[in-house]
Amino acid sequence: MEFELSIIVASILFLLILLKLRKPTQSECDLNRIPGPKRLPVIGNLHLLLTKSMPHFIFRQLAAKYGPLLRLQLGGVPFLIVSSVEAAKQVLKTHDVAFANRPQMHAATTITYNYSDIAFAPYGDYWRSLRKICTLELLSSKRVRYFRPIREEENANLAAWIAAKEGSPVNLSEIVGLSAYDITSRASVGEEAEEKQTMAAAIKQGIELGSGLGIADLYPSNKLLPFITGMVFKIQKVFRQTDRVFESIIRRHRAAGPTDERSEDLVDVLLKCQKDDAGVRLTDDNIKAVILDMFLAGTETSSTAVEWVMSEMIRNPRALKKAQEEVREVFENKGYIDEQNFEDLKYLKLVIKETLRLHPPVPLLVPRINSERCEINGYQIPTGTRVMVNAWALGRDPSYWDEAEKFKPERFEGSSVDFKGNNLEFIPFGAGRRMCPGMSFGLANIEFSLATLLYHFDWEMPAGQELDMEESFGATAKRKNDLLLIPTIKRPLRPLIKSC
């Protein structure tokens, strides 16, 4: 045993000596010029993440010390962390094409059918064609309007379920998540996907595995790590669960045949594009990958936003009261929530904006990688460098936001700042070519769910419990602890009036 330990120690020392003697490459020299904390052998700066704080918190603290363009060595992978609007502009606007690709990650390789989805597909003809299908066919404003009856029915179900629990604590995080899943499922595949609980759990784990900050992703040259850490087995389990369901969905849609435009779900549209060869040859695996994107983005991001809006309003009773009064005044004569009047929910829209500023569902935008050498903030960035934009830090930058840490919905009143990617201090849906194409779909779901919760119910914390605002670790920044609230019915539920 002592002999084996001596061999291991000697091997490590030998490797450290080789690393010390090895002449750094030009790329390494360029990266070394960028400010950043001192690195340790083998792990680099990975030890800085081994705290209870979330990565986006830590990155902002480091940026305050080293600057808005921060170099970090996380395991075997060099990262650049962008924490200022000026640096973000160069990545997301000036050099948008150069940074339009994604790095390879273990989870994405498998569950996106070898990068054939929208989020991770390499920048090129296939991605452009797929993006065009999404923006013009799958997620256009017209298509989102067609999904209105689904939102109405599922939110009526949500309200009825909550009403049955009146006076008792309800797990708002859980039920809002399942409601978002049902809306996304019906819009995507025309029905509530089979094995709902299993699918919802698989999607949640897929998001956690796809953060890009797992040990196996940070040491890509070590081919054994995915097996040692168990990551490869978790990925395969998620893939088998989702693939089986998606295969069944496609088979049923083919058997059912074409349907009219207003009744089409996203699978119908994709199968039609496959048949028409609409600019790109779609395989069944490509269709599955796009369906997965819809579930990942449509479920997690919208439900995360709703639970944070409710959390902030519970913490700020004045905002809760004002939003409730507005919603009830707008819909008092109808007695039910109607999207046709959503433009009148001006204060609720301010509350949603302010919450997305403080709690962007994806605080660290999905990593990008540059396909060519470029310059940012005067530094040369070698080809193949991973870049992460800290959207959470941009939304709390005191250079752009007065009382940046304070919840102030009124700050957006009369302001031209929006979240469509033009104002880089506020990018909860990203910016540039890789901006989330499902923004309209997500916002429609968020607004309808919140209007339903605020119109029908008053809300309070269970006796003796305090509201915590801790986040969980993952690609999406959900609450660490589920939000438990007690509902009291204030406006009775009425039979659902079907949309025309």
pLDDT digits (tens, 9 = 90+) for 321-335: 999 999 999 999 888
Q: Determine the average pLDDT of the residues in 260-289.
A: 84
Give the pLDDT of residue 314. Answer: 98
DSSP class of residue 72 equals E
Residues annotated in a binding site: 436
377 burial type by CB count under 10 A (0-12 exposed, 13-18 middle, 19+ buried): middle
Q: Determine the average pLDDT of the residues in 162-179.
A: 95
- Is the predicted pLDDT of residue 95 greater than 90, yes or no? yes
Give the pLDDT of residue 391. Answer: 97
Rounded to whole angstroms, how far apart are CA atoms 250 and 39?
49
Rounded to whole angstroms, how far apart are CA atoms 317 and 315?
6
Give the pLDDT of residue 195. Answer: 63
Give the pLDDT of residue 148. Answer: 93
What does the block give as tokens for 215? 């040990």
256 burial type by CB count under 10 A (0-12 exposed, 13-18 middle, 19+ buried): exposed
Residues annotated in a binding site for heme: 436
Number of helices (H) and strands (E), helices first, in the chain?
Answer: 20, 9
Rounded to whole angstroms, how far apart are CA atoms 195 and 205?
15
Place of tokens 């902002």: 60
Backbone dihedral angles phi then psi of residue 322, each to the nearest 5 degrees: -65, -40
Rounded to whole angstroms, how far apart are CA atoms 427 and 82?
13
Give the pLDDT of residue 4. Answer: 45
Q: Determine the average pLDDT of the residues in 77-83.
A: 95
Give the pLDDT of residue 135. Answer: 85
Alpha carbon 368 to chain centroid, angstroms: 15
- 29 versus 183: which is more confidently predicted? 183
Query: Where exactly are the structural domains of the chain?
Result: 2-489
Q: Determine the average pLDDT of the residues in 221-240.
A: 88
Give the pLDDT of residue 5. Answer: 47
- 138 versus 28: which is more confidently predicted? 138
Alpha helices in 96-169 (DSSP H): 106-111, 125-133, 141-146, 148-163
CA atoms within 13 A on the CB side of 329: 11
Question: To the nearest whole percent, how much of the chain has pLDDT over 70?
Answer: 91
What does the block give as tokens for 330? 């707008």
Residue 371 Cα distances to 76, 124, 212, 379, 382, angstroms: 19, 12, 19, 16, 9
Query: Where is average pLDDT lowest: 1-5, 95-99, 152-156, 308-312?
Result: 1-5
Place of tokens 């030998």: 14
Per DSSP, the three-state class of 388 is: strand
Give the pLDDT of residue 260. Answer: 73
Give the pLDDT of residue 212. Answer: 73
Edge-to-edge strands of the sheet including 368-369? Answer: 69-74, 77-82, 386-389, 368-369
Sign of the alpha-carbon torsion through 392, 114, 204, 129: positive
In the structure, what pLDDT confidence band is assigned to residue 1 with cuts at 50, 70 and 90?
very low
Question: To the nearest whole percent, how much of the chain has pLDDT over 90?
Answer: 59
Give the pLDDT of residue 199. Answer: 77
- Is the predicted pLDDT of residue 496 greater than 80, yes or no? no
Mean pLDDT of the chain: 88
- Is the predicted pLDDT of residue 366 greater than 80, yes or no? yes
Contact 326, 294 (CB under 8 A): no
Q: Determine the average pLDDT of the residues in 380-400.
A: 95
Give the pLDDT of residue 24. Answer: 57
Give the pLDDT of residue 193. Answer: 59
Give the pLDDT of residue 297. Answer: 82
- Is the predicted pLDDT of residue 400 greater than 90, yes or no? yes
Q: Which of 288, 299, 306, 339 is nearest to 185 (CA)?
A: 299
The number of beta carbons lying within 10 Å of the beta carbon of residue 338 is 16
Task: Print burial letters for 125-151: b (CB count within 10 Å at least 16), e (below 16).
Answer: ebbebbbebbeebbbeeebbebbbebb
- Is the predicted pLDDT of residue 16 greater than 70, yes or no? no
Alpha helices in 277-428 (DSSP H): 284-295, 302-315, 317-331, 346-358, 391-394
What does the block give as tokens for 153? 């029915």
Q: Determine the average pLDDT of the residues in 457-477.
A: 90
pLDDT digits (tens, 9 = 90+) for 341-365: 999 999 999 999 999 999 999 999 9
- 30 versus 270: which is more confidently predicted? 270
- Tell me the fold of 2-489: Cytochrome p450 (1.10.630)
Which of 125-139, 294-308, 403-417 tops mean pLDDT?
A: 403-417
